[in-house]
Amino acid sequence: MSLVAQYSNDALQAEGLMRDKLPRHVAVIMDGNGRWAQQRGLPRIEGHRRGVKSVRVIVEECARLGLGQLTLYCLSSENWKRPPNELNFLMSLLEQYVIEERSEIMRQGLTFAMIGRRDGLSPGVLREVQKTIDCSRENRGMQLCLAVNYGGRAEIADAVRALAADVAAGRLNPAAITEDDISSRLYTAGMPDPDLLIRTAGEMRVSNFLLWQISYAEIWVTDKCWPEFRRPDLVAALRDYASRDRRFGGLKG
């Protein structure tokens, strides 16, 4: 499957970027959709609709930059506390997005994945998500991963249950459990940990997102709400990431 054309090294340098300084995996907490709408006298659901435009732009830009994975926090397990009409709209919007973007995912040669608990998601969403996972399985481009009905604590609890079952069945020695054993039982098994976590709308918290995986991620926050987030904001985040000294607990050599 053909890939979207990636930026040349000259094009990257014109933006102040270098290919070897780009993160392999970017994760995004897409915050502020409802706030953006309310500030403009619009219903909250309009903010979610406008946010899809930002998703389209950022997915293609990350693919053109040659990133390995982009993970988007679409719906947290705590978001079920929101009004039913907003939740119904979010489910409908997600199903529509997966259907409408399937051809773009294939054109860009992306692989598609979804993490989170399937309980509570509509049959239509599950059906269309699986179709897109299946049809993009052989692609070799960037992986686009949507976190839906996702919670970091729930993910870790599910991993602990899986480990406990293996111990009870005699397949695993509890004294020999390693970090890799835990990672292999997370929803993200086989995926690289995020190098960069972007959060919009100025909130200074990680909101139960990829708690295990972001242990050494660089965090970049912008006051812009997600519907306003565009390519220049992504480039600013990547420039800032490239300027940081990532020591992973060690000393600079």
173 is known as an active-site residue: no
3-class DSSP assignment, residue 199: strand
Which is nearest to 110 in space by CA: 77, 141, 69, 147? 141
Supply the DSSP symbol for 175.
Answer: G
Supply the DSSP symbol for 202.
Answer: T
Which is nearest to 111 in space by CA: 84, 151, 138, 150? 138
* CA triple 98-121-155, angle to 5 deg: 100
Residue type, 46: E
**Is residue 43 a contact partner of residue 53, using CB atoms and an 8 Å limit?**
no
Of 9, 31, 173, 245, the active-site residue reads: 31
3-class DSSP assignment, residue 17: coil
158 is known as an active-site residue: no
Tokens representing 25 are 């995996």
Query: What is the rounded distance in angstroms from the CA atom of residue 5 to the CA atom of residue 24?
Result: 18
Query: Which residues, including other chains, have CB under 8 Å from residue 115's CB and lie 6 or more apart?
Result: 71, 145, 146, 147, 148, 150, 155, 187, 188
Of 9, 20, 79, 139, the active-site residue reads: 79
Query: Which residues, including other chains, have CB under 8 Å from residue 73's CB and lie 6 or more apart?
Result: 27, 28, 29, 30, 147, 150, 207, 209
Residue type, 221: V
Catalytic residue numbers? 31, 79
